[in-house]
Amino acid sequence: MTDGELAQARLHEIAEASLEGPGVTRLPWTREHRDANRLIGIWMKDAGLDVSLDAAGTLVGRSPNAGSKPLILLGSHQDSVRQGGRYDGIMGIALACLVARRFRDRWSDLPVAISVLAFADEEGVRFPTALIGPRALAGTLDPSVFELADADGIRMSDAMRDFGLESERASALAMRTPPVKAYLECHIEQGPILEDNALPVGVVTGICGITRIAVTFAGETGHAGTVPMSGRRDALVGAAQFVDEVNRTVSNLSDLRATVGQFDVRPNVVNAIPNEVRLTLEIRGTDDVNRASFKQEMHQVASRIANTADLNLIWTPTYDQPAIACDAALRRALAAGVRQTGHRVLELPSGATHDSSAMADLCPVGMLFVRCRNGVSHRPDEFASADDMAVAIDVCETAIRGIADQTE
Helix axes 386-407, 328-340, angle to 10 degrees: 130
Number of folded domains that form the chain: 2
Same-domain check for residues 227 and 281: yes
Per-residue pLDDT, averaged over 112-127, amounts to 95
| Amino acid 10: pLDDT | 98
Mark which of 271, 293, 321 sits at the end of a domain: 321
Burial of 332 from C-beta contacts in 10 A (0-12 / 13-18 / 19+): middle
Asked if the model's pLDDT at residue 135 lies above 80, the reply is yes
Q: In DSSP terms, which residues pair with 284 in a beta bridge?
A: 210, 257
DSSP 327: P
The Cβ-side half-sphere exposure at 208, using a 13 Å CA radius, reads 20
CATH of the domain at 286: 3.30.70.360
pLDDT tens-digit readout, 2-45? 999 999 999 999 999 999 999 999 999 999 999 999 999 999 99
User: CA-CA distance, 383 to 7, in Å (whole number)?
Assistant: 13
Same-domain check for residues 281 and 371: no
Domain that residue 276 falls in = 209-321
CB-based contact 209:322 (threshold 8 Å): yes
Per-residue pLDDT, averaged over 296-309, amounts to 98
pLDDT tens-digit readout, 239-284? 999 999 999 999 999 889 999 999 999 999 999 999 999 999 999 9
Asked if the model's pLDDT at residue 128 lies above 90, the reply is no
Task: Name the nearest CA neighbour of 184 among 19, 401, 2, 9.
Answer: 401
**Dihedral sign of CA atoms 123, 379, 334, 346 in order:** negative
pLDDT tens-digit readout, 139-166? 999 999 999 999 999 999 999 999 999 9
Which residue type occupies 390?
A
Cβ contacts of 198 within 8 Å, gap of 6 or more: none
| Amino acid 32: pLDDT | 98
In this prediction, residue 199 has a pLDDT band, given cuts at 50, 70 and 90, of very high
| Amino acid 321: pLDDT | 86
Q: Between residues 231 and 31, which one has the greater pLDDT?
A: 31
Strands 276-285 and 209-218: antiparallel
Same-domain check for residues 93 and 48: yes
Which residue type occupies 55?
A
Q: Mean pLDDT in the chain?
A: 95
SS (H, E, C) 89-152: CHHHHHHHHHHHHCCCCCHHHCCCEEEEEEECCCCCCCCCCCCHHHHHHHCCCCHHHHHCECCC
Cβ contacts of 10 within 8 Å, gap of 6 or more: 39, 43, 94
Same-domain check for residues 95 and 240: no
| Amino acid 408: pLDDT | 60
Per-residue pLDDT, averaged over 75-98, amounts to 97
**Percent of the chain residues topping a pLDDT of 70:** 100
Same-domain check for residues 241 and 167: no
Asked if the model's pLDDT at residue 109 lies above 90, the reply is no
Same-domain check for residues 249 and 191: no
pLDDT tens-digit readout, 372-402? 999 999 999 999 999 999 999 999 999 999 9
Same-domain check for residues 101 and 238: no
| Amino acid 176: pLDDT | 79
Asked if the model's pLDDT at residue 173 lies above 80, the reply is yes
Mark which of 273, 300, 321 sits at the end of a domain: 321
pTM of the model: 0.88
User: CA-CA distance, 64 to 406, in Å (whole number)?
Assistant: 21
**Percent of the chain residues topping a pLDDT of 90:** 90
Mark which of 300, 321, 342 sits at the end of a domain: 321
User: CA-CA distance, 288 to 6, in Å (whole number)?
Assistant: 40
Asked if the model's pLDDT at residue 85 lies above 70, the reply is yes
CATH of the domain at 384: 3.40.630.10
User: CA-CA distance, 274 to 59, in Å (whole number)?
Assistant: 50
| Amino acid 217: pLDDT | 98
**Dihedral sign of CA atoms 185, 188, 189, 195 in order:** positive
Q: With residue 207 as reference, give the H or E element that holds it.
A: strand 201-207
Within 10 angstroms of residue 200's Cβ, the number of other Cβ atoms is 23
Per-residue pLDDT, averaged over 76-93, amounts to 97
User: CA-CA distance, 254 to 92, in Å (whole number)?
Assistant: 28
Same-domain check for residues 49 and 195: yes
SS (H, E, C) 228-256: CCCCCCCHHHHHHHHHHHHHHHHCCCCCE
In this prediction, residue 107 has a pLDDT band, given cuts at 50, 70 and 90, of confident
Same-domain check for residues 328 and 316: no
Same-domain check for residues 222 and 177: no
| Amino acid 368: pLDDT | 98
Q: With residue 279 as reference, give the H or E element that holds it.
A: strand 276-285
| Amino acid 184: pLDDT | 98
Same-domain check for residues 41 and 184: yes
Q: Taking the chain, what is the end-to-end CA distance rounded to the nearest angstrom?
A: 33
In this prediction, residue 66 has a pLDDT band, given cuts at 50, 70 and 90, of confident
Per-residue pLDDT, averaged over 325-329, amounts to 96
Within 10 angstroms of residue 226's Cβ, the number of other Cβ atoms is 7
Same-domain check for residues 90 and 233: no
| Amino acid 258: pLDDT | 97
